[in-house]
Amino acid sequence: MGREAHAVLAGLFVLGLGIVALTVGLWLGNVGAEYDPYVVVSRYPVSGLRPESTVFYRGVEIGKVTRIELSPDDLNTIRVQIQIAKGFPMTDKSFARLRVQPLTGLAQIELDSREGPARRLTTRPEAPAVIPMQPSLFEQLTGTGQDLMGELQRLVLGLNELLDAENRKRIAQILANVEAASRGLVRLEAETAPALAEAPKVLASTQRTLAALEKLSGELITLSQQGQALLAKGSRLSAALHHDTLPRFHTLLEEVQAASSTLKNLSERLEQEPQAVLWGPAPPEPGPGEPGYRESRR
């Protein structure tokens, strides 16, 4: 085989290797794939994030980072331009988090969405839709730790102010008062122990008294009912006296009064003419023209 043949073989090998490299590059770069543009807006650091960093949605690769820049209106705001597979549904409940690789320190974007009714975002190259960035778990822990340290520092300062010399004296006095009160409670317990021992007897006596009062209450109710019945009978008797007995009594009094008047008249006539009892009443004197008439002399 001549030198020309070796040269041809070497050329073919280089050409094949170039084609394979180009194919792998196109496959890795997803050349020809269509994407939708979005902007992730972050108020938190994006350390470790680079162009071409992968974008995931709940662990599934859906796009990549294309550009990272500061917002011209607010230097505390970072704008991360990303491309997501065309037609992938992003809604107004979608949000992003930074996911940092533990060994390399490289960061990736993890997208997610809250549950509930949502409106799909409309995005265009000239006006990409905005997806907010939420703090990562590490940032949340860091922020919580800083808040906790701040609270702990304020607590220490408050304790220092609380435990000054004057307040220490007051606390010592309070503890002394508590100790004195405890001793008083011990004495009170010793003094009240006999009374507490008699408490069951007092309770039993009270129960008997309550039972007697209950019985007396029942008797009073019965007596009240009897009194009401007696009052009702008295009312009926009073009505009978008023409507029946009293009219008869008045009639009897009138008859007695008439009989008394008759007896009085009879008594007066007997005094004047006692012979009227034997001979009856004297005849009346004859009048003029009658036999035995005598003219009176003046």
Mind listing the pLDDT tens digit for each residue in 121-139?
999 999 999 999 998 766 6
More confident residue, 278 or 194: 194
- In angstroms, the CA 194 to CA 201 distance is 12
The confidence score (pLDDT) of residue 69 equals 95
Last residue of a domain, one of 240, 262, 287: 240
The confidence score (pLDDT) of residue 4 equals 65
How many residues in the chain? 298
- In angstroms, the CA 115 to CA 124 distance is 25
Most confident of 57-61, 171-175, 261-265: 57-61
Query: Both tokens of residue 30?
Result: 């997803």
Quote the mean pLDDT of the chain: 79
Q: Is residue 100 located within the same domain as residue 171?
A: no
- In angstroms, the CA 67 to CA 62 distance is 16
Is 284 inside any structural domain?
no
> Pick from 102, 88, 91, 103: which is nearest to 56 by CA?
88
Is 214 inside any structural domain?
yes
The confidence score (pLDDT) of residue 82 equals 95
Is 266 inside any structural domain?
no
The confidence score (pLDDT) of residue 202 equals 78
Q: Is residue 129 located within the same domain as residue 78?
A: yes
Handedness of CA 227, 232, 235, 241 (dihedral sign): negative
Query: Both tokens of residue 203?
Result: 């309770």
Report the pLDDT averaged over residues 2-13.
66
Is 125 inside any structural domain?
yes
The confidence score (pLDDT) of residue 287 equals 63
Q: pLDDT class for 108, splitting at 50, 70, 90?
A: very high
Q: pLDDT class for 233, splitting at 50, 70, 90?
A: confident
> Pick from 134, 123, 132: which is nearest to 88 by CA?
123
The confidence score (pLDDT) of residue 182 equals 82
Task: Give the CA count within 13 Å in the CB-facing half-sphere of 120.
Answer: 5
Q: Is residue 53 located within the same domain as residue 131?
A: yes
Q: pLDDT class for 141, splitting at 50, 70, 90?
A: low
Is 12 inside any structural domain?
no
Domain span at residue 80 reads 33-135
Query: In a 3-state reduction of DSSP, which class is residue 213?
Result: helix
Residue at token pair 């808040």: 147
Most confident of 55-59, 149-153, 176-180, 268-272: 55-59
Res 226 pLDDT > 90? no
Res 285 pLDDT > 70? no
More confident residue, 181 or 162: 181
Q: Is residue 125 located within the same domain as residue 197?
A: no
Q: Is residue 131 located within the same domain as residue 167?
A: no
Kindly report whether the global pTM for this prediction surpasses the value 0.85: no
Q: Is residue 191 located within the same domain as residue 229?
A: yes
The confidence score (pLDDT) of residue 96 equals 95
Total domains in the fold of the chain: 2
Res 219 pLDDT > 90? no
Is 188 inside any structural domain?
yes
Last residue of a domain, one of 240, 264, 292: 240
